[in-house]
């Protein structure tokens, strides 16, 4: 245990220390992989960093490959910076393939623990180069992305995993009626558990039924055998089981805007500052009015010159939200999504409809708010609540969910606090987890910092500008 505590800067929760210890002990018993089946908000990253640091300090690994959805690549950089007390160099592999290869080759020269982070789509396209990196430990974050045994990203991860000494699979609690999804994930993490052949495994644990005999039906008589194998290399954590978790945990997901979107944002920012320089009276009202368009841009939509139509300039936040929705669906939990602008809300509703996810919504044009709230609270099939930040304050109880995503925020401290208290209130039995989607190098970060620290945003911006600080980050 002391070995695990020595490699991090903070005191972990009991369940994190237990999980890391189980993984390290499993590796010491010559297992090649371990799965952290930990619900969102329980700290999979810190638990993994403890394992990583312990293996490195004991000279068992020198190179780490982390594969994750595009939207959370930067989370690993932030988490390592906050928590790791061992020497490492990290690169986020992004940009062109040529640039990724260059970054990977430069990383190989490091004398510290070498950590490369890449998204799933790029990983299968760069399978040859990643094999050449020769990672000792491979971490598959949001490992449910591997549930399709036939996908290119799953096949690439299986191959990469076969050449690694150790593997970690990170995902939420596995849905019990989706046993068919387990094979591919465990084929990556430890092929000795369920074997190499999907069809041999399927024929052993399932019968084929339904129309045309295409539907696999799990053999209930094999439940104990399946569960024993499944749990032999995994650690399962639910939020309601973590008695040491604080009532509230928060997570900032830093989102990289696409190059073209960031260029548009910077142009808008330059135009705004040019107007500020021309204004003889730099007032709070003027500042808040003019940064409105910057906030719209980070959410993906900016009004055209006619002010009646909009241009979609970015999908970065939406892609990040989709990853969160997929993770919560995997955990079979409910989710609250809060956004500010109508175009964002429209896009979120369209995404949920496309995914055939039932949702409730409260926004300016919804008349029967009570019916929407009741549907979310009482209907087990209604998985998501979509709310507009200005209309989701007083009088709404959303305790059917314990996770809330702020897609975007307005500048009102009252609205921010009131929205947060929709899930953290009487009747809530779980710890509450808040996720903030923040576009890097934009006004988003300053808005969130002001709201969380109860700072007057407008006054701060005015003061910064007067001091010559023109960045909105």
Name the token pair of 171.
Answer: 């995902």
Q: Is the pLDDT confidence value at 39 over 80?
A: yes
Whether residue 235 is found in the same domain as residue 326: no
**Does residue 175 belong to any structural domain of this protein?**
yes
**Does residue 282 belong to any structural domain of this protein?**
no
pLDDT band of residue 5 (cuts 50, 70, 90) is very high
* Distances 195 to 186, 290, 321, 383 between C-alpha atoms, Å: 9, 60, 34, 35
Sign of CA dihedral 185, 190, 193, 195: positive
Residue range 67-101, pLDDT digits in tens: 999 999 989 999 999 999 999 999 999 999 999 99
Q: Is the pLDDT confidence value at 137 over 90?
A: yes
**How many structural domains comprise the chain?**
2
Boundary of a domain, candidates 214, 241, 268: 241
Q: Is the pLDDT confidence value at 217 over 80?
A: yes
Q: What percent of the chain has pLDDT over 90?
A: 71
Q: What percent of the chain has pLDDT over 70?
A: 95
Q: Is the pLDDT confidence value at 176 over 60?
A: no
**Does residue 262 belong to any structural domain of this protein?**
no
Name the token pair of 154.
Answer: 């799953």
**Does residue 472 belong to any structural domain of this protein?**
no
Half-sphere exposure at residue 341, Cβ-oriented, CA atoms within 13 angstroms: 18
**Does residue 289 belong to any structural domain of this protein?**
no
For residue 359, what are the domain limits?
Answer: 248-255+314-466
Distance (Å, whole) CA 346 – CA 86:
45
Distance (Å, whole) CA 258 – CA 319:
12
Name the token pair of 124.
Answer: 């299968």
User: Tell me, what CATH number does 147's domain have?
Assistant: 3.40.50.10810
> What SS3 state is found at 21?
helix
Whether residue 68 is found in the same domain as residue 179: yes
pLDDT at position 457: 78
For the ranges 29-33, 206-210, 383-387, 390-394, the maximum mean pLDDT occurs at: 383-387
Residue range 385-431, pLDDT digits in tens: 999 999 887 779 999 999 999 999 998 888 999 999 999 988 888 89
pLDDT at position 472: 61
Q: Is the pLDDT confidence value at 307 over 80?
A: no
Q: What is the bridge-based pairing of β-strands 137-140 and 166-171? A: parallel
Total-model pTM: 0.89
Strand partners, 302: 311
The residues, ordered by sequence, that sit 6+ positions from 408 with a Cβ below 8 Å of its Cβ are 295, 298, 299, 317, 338, 339, 340, 341, 344, 389, 437, 444
Q: Is the pLDDT confidence value at 177 over 60?
A: no
pLDDT at position 1: 62
**Does residue 305 belong to any structural domain of this protein?**
no
pLDDT at position 355: 96
Residue range 268-281, pLDDT digits in tens: 988 887 777 766 66
């Amino acid at each position: 245990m002391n070995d695990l505590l020595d490699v991090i800067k903070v005191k972990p929760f009991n369940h994190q220390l237990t999980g890391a210890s189980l993984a390290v002990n499993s590796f010491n018993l010559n297992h090649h992989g371990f799965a952290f089946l930990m619900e969102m908000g329980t700290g999979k990253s810190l638990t993994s960093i403890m394992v990583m640091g312990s293996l490195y300090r004991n000279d068992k690994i020198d190179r780490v490959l982390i594969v994750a959805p595009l939207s959370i690549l930067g989370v690993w950089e932030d988490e390592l910076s906050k928590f790791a007390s061992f020497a490492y160099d990290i690169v986020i592999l992004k940009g062109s393939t040529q640039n990724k290869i260059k970054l990977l080759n430069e990383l190989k020269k490091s004398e510290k623990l070498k950590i490369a982070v890449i998204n799933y789509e790029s990983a299968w396209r760069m399978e040859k180069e990643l094999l050449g990196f020769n990672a000792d430990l491979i971490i598959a974050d949001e490992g449910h992305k591997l549930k399709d045994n036939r996908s290119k990203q799953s096949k690439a991860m299986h191959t990469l995993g076969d050449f690694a000494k150790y593997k970690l699979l990170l995902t939420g609690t596995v849905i019990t009626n989706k046993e068919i999804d387990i094979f591919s994930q465990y084929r990556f993490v430890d092929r000795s558990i369920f074997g190499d052949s999907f069809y041999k495994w399927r024929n052993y644990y399932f019968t084929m039924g339904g129309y045309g005999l295409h539907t696999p039906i799990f053999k209930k008589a094999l439940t104990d055998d399946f569960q024993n194998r499944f749990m032999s290399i995994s650690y399962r954590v639910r939020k309601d089981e973590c008695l040491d978790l604080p009532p509230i945990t928060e997570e900032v997901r830093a989102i990289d805007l696409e190059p073209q979107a960031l260029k548009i944002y910077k142009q808008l920012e330059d135009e705004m500052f040019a107007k500020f320089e021309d204004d003889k009276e730099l007032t709070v009202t003027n500042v808040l009015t003019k940064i409105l368009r910057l906030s719209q841009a980070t959410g993906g939509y900016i009004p055209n010159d006619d002010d009646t139509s909009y241009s979609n300039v970015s999908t970065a936040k939406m892609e990040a939200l989709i990853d969160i929705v997929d993770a919560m669906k995997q955990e079979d939990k409910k989710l609250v999504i809060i956004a500010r602008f109508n175009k964002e809300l429209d896009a979120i509703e369209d995404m949920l409809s496309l995914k055939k996810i039932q949702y409730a919504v409260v926004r300016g044009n919804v008349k029967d708010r009570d019916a929407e709230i009741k549907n979310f609270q009482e209907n087990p099939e209604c998985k998501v609540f979509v709310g507009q930040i200005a209309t989701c304050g007083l009088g709404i109880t959303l305790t059917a969910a314990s996770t809330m995503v702020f897609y975007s925020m307005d500048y009102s401290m009252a609205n921010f606090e009131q929205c947060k208290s929709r899930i953290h209130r009487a009747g809530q039995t779980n710890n509450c987890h808040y996720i903030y989607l923040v576009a890097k190098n934009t006004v988003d970060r300053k808005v969130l910092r002001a709201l969380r620290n109860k700072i007057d945003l407008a006054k701060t911006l005015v003061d910064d500008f007067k001091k010559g600080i023109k960045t909105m980050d």
